[in-house]
Amino acid sequence: MSALPRLSAIFLAAITTLVAVLLYSPLFVPIVSSFFTISHGNVDWSSPTLATYVALAENHDILAALRTTLIVGVCTVVLSVVSGTLLALYYHSRRSGRSLLQFIIFLPFLMPPIISGLALLIFFREIGLERSLLTVVIGHTVFVLAIVYRTVLMRLQSMSRTLVEASYDLGATGWQTFWRIILPNLSSAMVGGAILAFALSFDETMITILVTGTQSTLPVRLWAMMRLGFSPDINALVALILMFTVLLCVLAARFLIPRQVATERT
């Protein structure tokens, strides 16, 4: 697709710039306001300040919500990586009913979150499970399972069968092969899947709103605060979260792009 006429190249570049501006303008607002005071839509550029970051450190309500979000994220990651890996191994071992199983795993990811969330809400009520952090973790795990499962399965399918066959030829048992050949080969896919799962869980709002109890996660807390308008320290939090998620994203890319390709490109 080389040698574009100059005019169309300029047109395409202009649209791309427009898209980038559209995508980044909502991010720009909170970041700018975390360093400068904004009143009535006018930015006061003259006096940059870190006061919002100091205020954030004293906002116990938000910090508690952040801690809850991290706890939920870690539990979700552990549950989804363990079950996602086991389910991927099950699918890969060509046992019965695997297509049906895969369909069920993908359902919550394909359906709108409001449907998965409401279905779980009614389910918890029917089995008499009080809404709490446990129900939030279950909701998140069900939602992110498909991503972890898919990531691990893709690695399994691209793994050469000869590795496993060589292991058996050399007299290793099934367990030895699993622990010493299969699992090490899957580890980077599992880490990549874990990072994706954490990122999804960290920002999950719609399912969480429906199944959460009294302790709310950060997005739900922000959602509740939004009706009244945010205090300036929220902007500081947003700026920090953005930096953190970009870091996560770079890490995920590192683990998910196979090493040969990565070295080719650098």
Partner 1 sequence: MSKADSTLPAERRLSLLVTVLAFALPVIFVLVPLAIFLGYSFFSVDQGTIVYGLSLGNYARFFTDPVFLPVFWNTIVLCVSVAIICILLAYPAAYFLTTLKGRWRYALLMLLLVPLLMSYVIKIYAIRSILGLNGFLNKALVALGILQEPSTLFVFNMNAILLTLTLLLIPFAVLPIFLSLERIPQVLLRASDDLGASGLQTFLRITLPLSLPGVASAASFVFVLAIGDFLTPQMVGGISGFTFGRILYSQFGTAYNWPFGAALSVALAVVVIAAILIGERFGRNRGISV
Q: How far is the CB of 46 from partner 1 (least distance, A)?
A: 19
Q: How far is the CB of 195 from partner 1 (least distance, A)?
A: 11
Identity of the residue, 69 or 189, whose beta carbon is nearer to partner 1 in the bound complex: 69
Identity of the residue, 81 or 120, whose beta carbon is nearer to partner 1 in the bound complex: 120
**What contacts 232, CB < 8 A, 6 or more positions away?**
33, 34, 37, 51, 52, 55
Q: How far is the CB of 242 from partner 1 (least distance, A)?
A: 6
Q: How far is the CB of 160 from partner 1 (least distance, A)?
A: 16
Q: How far is the CB of 222 from partner 1 (least distance, A)?
A: 5
Long-range contacts of 16-22 (CB under 8 A, 24+ apart): none
